């Protein structure tokens, strides 16, 4: 059963020169409960807009976006969203950042903190519970954001290039953490990235987007067993085969996006 379904979803923003700018056009795909779907496409093609539509932060200009079988109006229940840039509250300690969701949802301070502490421990930050975000490394702040999202026990997780600002080793570490933490939740995930390796290593299915305005170009199944070790799995022949197949499709779009960027620059 699909928990997220987009049918011809289109989003236009008011452009700079009076012409509306189309970010995404005629998006159609579904995500089942417990399924991990990665969305890849050229940089700046409008992948993030897809997540805004599903999360209800931006309404679709046309087409339909359903979550849990109902059209999205406002933020649907059970949605978690990890943003590309840091969205942790700089004036709250790690523990209180993670406790923010339960507090907003009406839990008492003490209960919220107890619930939060469980997740702070699960993401490996127990020793840093009282630290402020500026005292943490980039990877640790991502762990805070991950715990902040997971503490609400979302049935749908939207992730917008959450690890793109991290160095390669920390990123691999966080990818493993994500898979480990997600494994027990049964949540549906849409994970947006421009990194095809990341997409294949994490996802059950990979949605390839065209360059701007973005639409779905092709959808691939990733036939790799779970549980996965993201660093090991990159070396398997199955991974390489999947990479080659999807890259063939993605390559044209990346080339076109580059050509357009060059055209605009000159």
Partner 1 sequence: MQAETLAPPALSTGSVRRRRLGKLWGVRVAVVVVWLGSWELTASHWIDPFFYSKPTLIWERLVDWFTEGTAFGSVWIQIATTLQEAVLGFIIGAIGGVVLGILLGRARFAADVAAPFIKAANAVPRIVLASLFVIWFGLGLTSKVATAVVLVFFAVFFNAFQGAREVDRNLVNNARILGASRSQVLTSIVVPSATSWIFASLHAAFGFALIGAVVGEYAGADKGLGLLIANAQGTFDAAGIYAGMIITTVIALLAEWLLTLLENRLLRWRPPALQGAENA
Nearer to partner 1, 44 or 139 (CB): 139
How near is the Cβ of 170 to partner 1 at its closest, in Å?
A: 6
With binding defined as CB under 8 A, does residue 81 bind partner 1?
yes
CB of 94 to partner 1, least distance (A): 11
Which of 17, 34, 41 shows the shortest CA–CA distance to 161? 41
Nearest residue to 192 (alpha-carbon basis) of 51, 7, 80: 51
CA–CA dist 191, 207 (Å, integer): 10
Among 22, 49, 50, 148, binds partner 1 (CB under 8 A): 148
Q: Which of residues 217-246 bind partner 1 (CB under 8 A)?
A: none
The count of other CB atoms within 10 Å of the CB of residue 12 is 16
Q: Provide the token pair at 181.
A: 């933490």
DSSP string for 211-251? SSSB-EEEEEE----SS--HHHHTTSHHHHHHHHHHHHHHH
Q: Any contact of residue 247 with partner 1 (CB under 8 A)?
A: no
Task: Please tell me the distance from the alpha carbon of residue 169 to that of residue 214, in angstroms, as a whole number.
Answer: 30
Residues 6+ apart with CB under 8 A from 143: 123, 124, 125, 174, 177
Each residue of 188-226: b (16+ CB within 10 Å) or e?
A: bbbbbbbebbbbbbbbbbbbbbbbbbbbbbeebebebee
CB of 188 to partner 1, least distance (A): 15
Q: Tokens 């570490």 correspond to what residue?
A: 173
Residue 100 sits in the site that holds partner 1 (CB under 8 A): yes
Out of 49, 152, 193, 211, the only residue in the binding site for partner 1 (CB under 8 A) is 152
Listed ranges 28-36, 41-49, 145-153, 192-200: which one lies at the site for partner 1 (CB under 8 A): 145-153
For the bound state, the minimum distance from the C-beta of residue 211 to partner 1, rounded and expressed in Å, comes to 25
Q: Kindly tell me which residue out of 43, 62, 111, 169 binds partner 1, with binding defined by CB under 8 A.
A: 169
Q: Write the CA distances from 180 to 23, 143, 174, 175, 226, integer angstroms.
A: 33, 13, 10, 9, 10
The single residue among 8, 132, 218, 219 that binds partner 1, judged by CB under 8 A, is 132
Q: In angstroms, what is the minimal distance from the CB of 189 to partner 1?
A: 15
The nearer residue to partner 1, 55 or 193, going by C-beta atoms, is: 55
CB of 240 to partner 1, least distance (A): 26
89 binds partner 1 (CB under 8 A): yes
From the list 14-22, 127-135, 189-197, 257-265, the region that binds partner 1 by CB under 8 A is: 127-135
Q: Give me the least distance between CB of 253 and partner 1, in Å please.
A: 27
Report the distance separating Cα 211 and Cα 70, nearest Å.
29
Interface ranges with partner 1 (CB under 8 A): 55, 57, 75, 79-81, 83, 85-87, 89-92, 100-101, 104-105, 124, 132-137, 139-140, 148-149, 152, 169-170, 173
């Amino acid at each position: 059963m699909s928990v997220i379904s987009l049918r011809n979803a289109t989003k236009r923003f008011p452009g700079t020169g009076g012409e509306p700018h189309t970010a995404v056009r005629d998006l159609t795909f579904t995500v089942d409960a417990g399924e991990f779907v990665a969305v890849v496409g050229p940089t700046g093609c409008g992948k993030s807009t897809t997540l805004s539509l599903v999360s209800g932060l931006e309404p679709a200009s046309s087409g339909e976006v359903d979550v849990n079988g109902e059209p999205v109006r406002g933020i649907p229940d059970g949605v978690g969203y990890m943003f590309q840039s840091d969205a942790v509250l700089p004036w709250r300690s790690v523990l209180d950042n993670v406790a923010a969701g339960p507090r907003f949802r009406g839990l008492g301070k003490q209960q919220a903190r107890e619930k939060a502490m469980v997740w702070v421990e699960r993401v490996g930050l127990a020793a840093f519970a009282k630290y402020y975000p500026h005292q943490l490394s980039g990877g640790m702040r991502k762990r805070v954001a991950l715990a902040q999202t997971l503490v609400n026990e979302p049935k749908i997780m939207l992730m917008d290039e959450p690890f793109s600002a991290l160095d390669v080793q920390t990123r691999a570490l966080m990818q493993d953490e994500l898979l480990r933490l997600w494994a027990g939740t049964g949540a549906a995930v849409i994970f947006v990235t421009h990194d095809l390796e990341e997409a294949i290593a994490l996802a059950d299915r990979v949605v390839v987007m065209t360059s701007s305005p973005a639409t779905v170009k092709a959808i691939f199944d990733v036939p790799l067993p779970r549980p996965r070790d993201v660093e090991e799995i990159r070396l398997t022949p199955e991974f390489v085969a999947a990479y080659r197949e999807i890259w063939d499709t993605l390559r044209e779009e990346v080339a076109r996006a580059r050509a357009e960027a060059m055209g605009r620059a000159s």
